[in-house]
Amino acid sequence: MASTAKKQGVGSVIWDYLTTVDHKKIAILYLIAGGFFFVVGGIEAMMIRIQLAVPNNDFLSAGLFNEMITMHGTTMIFLAAMPLLFAFMNATVPLQIGARDVAFPFLNALGVWLFVFGGIFLNLSWFLGGAPDAGWTSYASLSIASAGHGIDFYALGLQISGAGTLISGINFVTTIINMRAPGMTYMRMPLMTWTTLVASVLIVFAFPPLTIGLFLLIFDRMFGSSFFLVETGGNTIIWEHLFWIFGHPEVYILILPAFGIFSEIFSTFSRKRLFGYSAMVFATIIIGFFGFMVWAHHMFTVGLGPTANAIFAVATMAIAVPTGIKIFNWIATVWGGSIEFTTPMLYALAFIPSFTMGGVTGVMQAAAPADYQYHDSYFIVAHFHYVIVGGVVFGLLAGLHYYWPLMFGTMLSEKLGKITFVIFVIGFHVTFLIQHFLGLWGMPRRVFTYLDGQGYNTANLISSMGALLMAIAVIILVINIIMTVAKNQKVGRDPWGDGRTLEWSLPLPVPYYNFAQIPLVRGLDAYWIEKKANNGRMMPSESLEDFHMPNNSFIPFVMSFGLFVAAFGALYFASGKDWAIDAVSGLNVHPWAPWVLGLGLAITVGAMITRSIKDDLGYYVTKEEVLRDLEEEERRAR
Amino acid sequence: MAHMEYNVPSERWPAHPETATMEGKNKFVGFWIFLAGETALFASLFATYLALKDSVPGEDHPLAADLFALPLAFVMTMFLLTSSLTSVYAIYHMRNNNFAKMQLWLGITVLLGLGFLALEIYEFIEYVHHGHTFRSSAFGSAFYFLLGTHGFHVVIGLGWITLLILRNARRGISVYTAAKVNTASLYWHFIDVVWVFIFTIVYLLGVM
Ligand code: HEM
Ligand SMILES: [Cu+2]
């Protein structure tokens, strides 16, 4: 298999990836697409910082600036951070629990294609009349008034990619509940698997409110309803509630898998069992649970009243407790360990103080009366970049270096990795530390420029310089990736030498069926145990026999494409209609819009019906083939 | 794991054919998790409805109390509740490996669902004649979105069950098809439960 794969032509490789249901290849798809959008979002960030580097700048117009900040936030959260986390979840979780694939390989592929088409749709707005400009939070008072189709791209694009996220969340929960190898009890699951489980549960409950919120927006803007139109009884605050009921859990959906990646890295490179494993698991669950009870801390200034504000303030502060537990456990894991300063470990170590600072400003903002001062100022911008960059992005970069060999069978250069690390971390603090002070000095967020002589000049220039450093770091990372791919120097099993969990017990590249025999798990850090007790050989839990694998399918791609087409129909549906809101009623009528909408939906429904009618029983990998692979593996090891 | 046998002979037919295979087990758990998400979806819809149910542009726009007729809603409820019961019969016969009876009860379920749908469409047309439309007020938008989403679920459910009846007509019942039928019936029950909440929160609360 491995040798034939190398001889494949480009066309058949592309077709393979378009139809794959293999979680390892889907991980690579997420990584490529997420990485692409990360670069796009980064360019948008640079535009913002160039515009703000000096007072009274006219590098970007006010309108274009609003589009930039909106697309930067939306792209980074939905199209970069989440998919990149999904890349690592897909790459590791099935291997960590000893499974041959996820519970629903077909749905896994559907998830990635929905995300890709949603992301493309959203970004096409740049070329088709203007991007959304109401902020990534898209408050209804702004979004209803926003002229043109920008907001429609936002609503429809997020609806499509959000459906993909929800499907993936359901898939991971089911996988982790049902597909664990014998002996892999819940309390033996690696932290990455645990955080994936909790984050996926959060997805299942948090994304539907967003779906509804987006539908309200879609209906108001495209089909003439009046959820947010005050003249006919609508209420814009409903959007804020729905958005933040989704939005706050969303920040934990982002940070929990990053916590998982860090937990793995801390224990691997301290060569110690994770300190306080059960407390870590418990804290993860508590964070997930509390995550749903704090959304109104984003709405302290809306006027919900002192009682509501007090309740949400206290609940918000309570979240800091389990988060603190985690911080102390990581420190205790490193404490007294035999530490190895690899690139992933460096990111993990830098994460602790950086993220903690974000947590501290979070608790400051949680004090509702004080938040009246911080709200909508650069202080907030500093807070969420400290937690998202200092937490999530550090986690992604750490995970990229750490899991690269698992995904590609090669090693990123440690030297370039460390250079990237130093520049990125310095750039990060230079950019965002000063923004706390800008906020306290009164600079509001989301303004496209500021006047000279208010004391903002130096601080903004410093911040922009830091952003430049981060951009340089990312460029070095890209060079590192290109060089590694070009060199293609293969590494073997357990490339870091200190792997503790099941995924490192496999030969590299991992066979497409993952495990020749499903292993028997005898405790936490299953591979480490066998290194001590059994020369690093996992005990099999089954005899070597034929086993079952799922078929590839092109249907997920077609289903997602159908929704992509339909979205264009919806987008232009209200253009120029007299019942439409002012923002679009003056545009040209597009008589074909309903037909395109119908056509797109027909493609999707047709694909679903095809899927239902056909029997898809999968195929069997034979014992003989597996034996051949094992012999081959043996030969290479010698 | 040996090769899976899908067409299990009747003397070895499992008590729970729907979860006899690994795919069946995954479908079962996965679908329950999907329904958890659907619950969050409908909770958001109900919250939106409750926030907007009295929001109309002027005095002359009809409100819930001017529109709703409990007898009709009651008949609709009966249609849907009964259809849930008949789908239970279908599952009962599936577990007993009785294909013909299973198909029959699935068919009856579809007919009852269609009855519900017809009444709902009739009801909506009535309301539109009274000036209560999707676009006339925030109340109208919220009402049609909530009931429309439920109604859309009914349409999907009907299409799904019909498709299963047709696709399985030639194949008969196996542990593979049993998992599919069972999932559809879970979905149908869920739709039914949502309707109970609609009946209470929209209709009973509306006329009171
Ligand atoms: C100790 C934990 C945390 C606390 C107490 C906390 C508290 C808060 C509060 C009160 C706000 C609203 C401030 C305002 O707009 O006036 C806020 C905003 C925000 N937080 Fe946190 N936070 C915490 C952790 C996190 C984490 C882990 C993330 C993401 C990974 C995050 C992401 C955000 C974002 C994105 C916003 C701003 C959203 C916007 O208005 O655009 N926070 N936080
Ligand atoms: Cu929050």
pLDDT tens digits for A301-337? Answer: 999 999 999 999 999 999 999 999 999 999 999 999 9
Q: Which two tokens stand for residue A499?
A: 């792997």
Interface test with A, best of B32, B38, B48 (most A CBs within 10 A): B48
Residues bordering ligand 2, an ion, CB closer than 5 Å:
A 248
Domain that holds residue B161: 17-54+64-207
Which among A388, A381, A137, A134 has a CA at the least distance from the CA of A243?
A137
Instruction: Note whether A173 contacts B: Cβ–Cβ < 8 A.
Output: yes
Confidence of residue A4 (pLDDT cuts 50, 70, 90): very low
What residue spans define the domains of chain A?
Answer: 10-637
Q: Give the span between the Cα atoms of A278 and B91, in whole angstroms.
A: 41
Pocket probe for ligand 1: among A311, A361, A383, the residue whose CB has the most ligand atoms within 8 Å is A383
Residue closest via CA to ligand 1's atom 37 equals: A384
Residue closest via CA to ligand 1's atom 36 equals: A384
B178: domain CATH number?
1.20.120.80
- Closest-approaching ligand to the CA atom of A85: 1
- Average pLDDT score over chain A: 95
* Pocket lining: A299 vs ligand 1, CB cutoff 6 Å: no
Contact (CB, 8 A) for B64 and B202: yes
Cis peptide bond upstream of A369, omega within 30: no
The mean pLDDT value for B33-52 works out to 97
Q: In the 3-class helix/strand/coil scheme, how is A487-549 assigned residue by residue? A: HCCECCCCCCCCCCCHHHHCCCCCCCCCCCCCECCCCCCHHHHHHHHCCCCCCECCCCCCEEE
What is the DSSP-derived secondary structure letter of residue A1? -
The three-state secondary structure class of A590 is: coil
| A382: phi then psi, degrees, rounded to nearest 5 | -65, -45
What is the DSSP-derived secondary structure letter of residue A621? E
* Pocket lining: A392 vs ligand 1, CB cutoff 6 Å: yes
Is residue A248 predicted with pLDDT exceeding 50?
Answer: yes
pLDDT in tens, A216-241: 999 999 999 999 999 999 999 999 99
Describe chain A by its helix, strand, coil percentages, rounded to 5.
70, 0, 30
Confidence of residue B10 (pLDDT cuts 50, 70, 90): confident
| Among the ranges given (A1-5, A515-519, A571-575, B61-65), the one the predictor scored with the smallest mean pLDDT | A1-5
Q: What is the pLDDT of residue A638?
A: 75
Is residue A5 predicted with pLDDT exceeding 60?
Answer: no
Is residue B11 included in any domain, yes or no? no
Is residue B178 included in any domain, yes or no? yes
CA B13: distance to chain centroid?
29
Instruction: Note whether A174 contacts B: Cβ–Cβ < 8 A.
Output: yes
Is residue A635 predicted with pLDDT exceeding 90?
Answer: no
Instruction: Note whether A543 contacts B: Cβ–Cβ < 8 A.
Output: no
C-alpha A383 – ligand 1 centre gap (Å)? 7
Q: Give the span between the Cα atoms of A563 and A599, in whole angstroms.
A: 9
Closest CA–CA distance from residue A469 to any residue of chain B (Å)? 42
Render A338-365 in DSSP notation, one character per residue: -----HHHHHHHHHHHHHHHHHHHHHHH
Q: In the 3-class helix/strand/coil scheme, how is B11-30 assigned residue by residue? A: HHCCCCHHHCCHHHHHHHHH
Instruction: Kindly state the helix (H) or strand (E) to which residue A620 belongs, with its residue range.
Output: strand A619-621
Closest CA–CA distance from residue B26 to any residue of chain A (Å)? 6
* Pocket lining: A502 vs ligand 1, CB cutoff 6 Å: no
Interface test with A, best of B1, B6, B19 (most A CBs within 10 A): B1
Question: What separation in angstroms does the CA of B44 have from each of A183, A246, A346, B49?
Answer: 39, 11, 43, 9
Is residue B10 included in any domain, yes or no? no
What fold characterizes domain A10-637?
Answer: Cytochrome C Oxidase; Chain A (1.20.210)
Confidence of residue B195 (pLDDT cuts 50, 70, 90): very high
The mean pLDDT value for B38-60 works out to 94
Torsion of CA A380, A60, A83, A249, to 10 degrees: 30
* Pocket lining: A74 vs ligand 1, CB cutoff 6 Å: no
- b/e per residue, A583-592, with b = 16+ CB within 10 A? bbeebeebee
Q: What is the pLDDT of residue B1?
A: 47
Residue with tokens 């969050």: B40
What is the DSSP-derived secondary structure letter of residue A182? T
Interface test with A, best of B45, B141, B149 (most A CBs within 10 A): B141
The mean pLDDT value for A271-298 works out to 95
Instruction: Note whether A620 contacts B: Cβ–Cβ < 8 A.
Output: yes
- DSSP-assigned beta bridge partners for residue A142: none
Confidence of residue A375 (pLDDT cuts 50, 70, 90): very high
Instruction: Note whether A554 contacts B: Cβ–Cβ < 8 A.
Output: no
Residue closest via CA to ligand 1's atom 40 equals: A298
Q: What is the pLDDT of residue A400?
A: 98
* Pocket lining: A365 vs ligand 1, CB cutoff 6 Å: yes
CB-defined contacts A:B, below 8 A: 132
Residue closest via CA to ligand 1's atom 12 equals: A298
Contact (CB, 8 A) for A464 and A435: no
Interface test with B, best of A170, A215, A244, A608 (most B CBs within 10 A): A170
| Among the ranges given (A141-155, A241-255, A538-552), the one the predictor scored with the smallest mean pLDDT | A538-552
* Pocket lining: A319 vs ligand 1, CB cutoff 6 Å: yes
Torsion of CA B154, B160, B165, B166, to 10 degrees: 130
| Among the ranges given (A252-266, A365-379, A413-427, A525-539), the one the predictor scored with the smallest mean pLDDT | A525-539
Closest CA–CA distance from residue B46 to any residue of chain A (Å)? 11
Q: Which two tokens stand for residue A626?
A: 């597996």
Q: Which two tokens stand for residue A585?
A: 């009623």
Q: What is the pLDDT of residue B208?
A: 82
Alpha helices in A145-271 (DSSP H): 150-178, 191-222, 237-270
Render A291-304 in DSSP notation, one character per residue: TTS-GGGG-GGG--
Is residue B134 included in any domain, yes or no? yes
Confidence of residue A633 (pLDDT cuts 50, 70, 90): confident
Question: What separation in angstroms does the CA of B25 have from each of A23, B29, B168?
Answer: 20, 6, 20
Q: Give the span between the Cα atoms of B46 and B201, in whole angstroms.
A: 8
**Pairing between strand A619-621 and A547-549?**
antiparallel
CB-based burial label for A569 (10 Å; 0-12, 13-18, 19+): buried
If you measure CA to CA, which chain A residue comes closest to B161? A612
Q: Give the span between the Cα atoms of A408 and A400, in whole angstroms.
A: 11
Q: How many CB atoms lie within 10 A of CB B154?
A: 22
Is residue B15 predicted with pLDDT exceeding 90?
Answer: no
* Pocket lining: A316 vs ligand 1, CB cutoff 6 Å: yes
Q: What is the pLDDT of residue A6?
A: 52
Contact (CB, 8 A) for B52 and A235: yes
What's the half-sphere exposure (Cβ side, CA atoms, 13 Å) at A263? 32
Ligand 1 atom closest to Cα of residue A317: 5
What does chain A come to in residues? 638
Is residue A111 predicted with pLDDT exceeding 60?
Answer: yes
Closest CA–CA distance from residue B57 to any residue of chain A (Å)? 4
Question: What separation in angstroms does the CA of B144 have from each of A40, B72, B92, B124, B159?
Answer: 39, 17, 35, 9, 21
Q: How many CB atoms lie within 10 A of CB B197?
A: 15
| A444: phi then psi, degrees, rounded to nearest 5 | -75, 155
pTM here?
0.95
The mean pLDDT value for A507-518 works out to 92
Is residue A492 predicted with pLDDT exceeding 70?
Answer: yes
Classify A236 in phi/psi space as left (phi over 0), alpha (psi -120 to 50) or beta.
alpha
Contacts for A25-29: CB closer than 8 Å, 24+ residues apart: A26/A90, A26/A108, A26/A109, A26/A111, A26/A112, A27/A86, A27/A87, A27/A88, A27/A89, A27/A90, A27/A91, A27/A407, A28/A87, A28/A407, A28/A408, A29/A112, A29/A116
* Pocket lining: A298 vs ligand 1, CB cutoff 6 Å: yes
Is residue B1 included in any domain, yes or no? no
pLDDT in tens, A402-456: 999 999 999 999 999 999 999 999 999 999 999 999 999 999 999 999 999 999 9
The mean pLDDT value for A512-539 works out to 92
Which among A331, A430, A339 has a CA at the least distance from the CA of A390?
A430
Confidence of residue A615 (pLDDT cuts 50, 70, 90): confident
Question: A450 CB contacts (<8 Å, ≥6 apart)?
Answer: A52, A55, A56, A443, A456, A460
Number of H helices, E strands in chain A: 23, 2
The mean pLDDT value for A580-608 works out to 94
The mean pLDDT value for B117-121 works out to 96
Q: Which residues of A touch B56 (CB under 8 A)?
A: 232-233
Contact (CB, 8 A) for A239 and A221: no
Chain-chain contact of B3 with A546 (C-beta, under 8 angstroms):
yes
Ligand 1 atom closest to Cα of residue A365: 10
Q: Give the span between the Cα atoms of B129 and A349, in whole angstroms.
A: 67
Is residue B198 included in any domain, yes or no? yes
The ipTM, to two decimals, is 0.95
Torsion of CA A531, A180, A262, A113, to 10 degrees: 130
Q: What is the pLDDT of residue A613?
A: 87
Q: Which two tokens stand for residue A312?
A: 């949400």
* Pocket lining: A380 vs ligand 1, CB cutoff 6 Å: yes
Tell me how many domains chain B contains.
1
The three-state secondary structure class of A444 is: strand
Q: Which residues of B touch A204 (CB under 8 A)?
A: 33-34, 36-37, 40
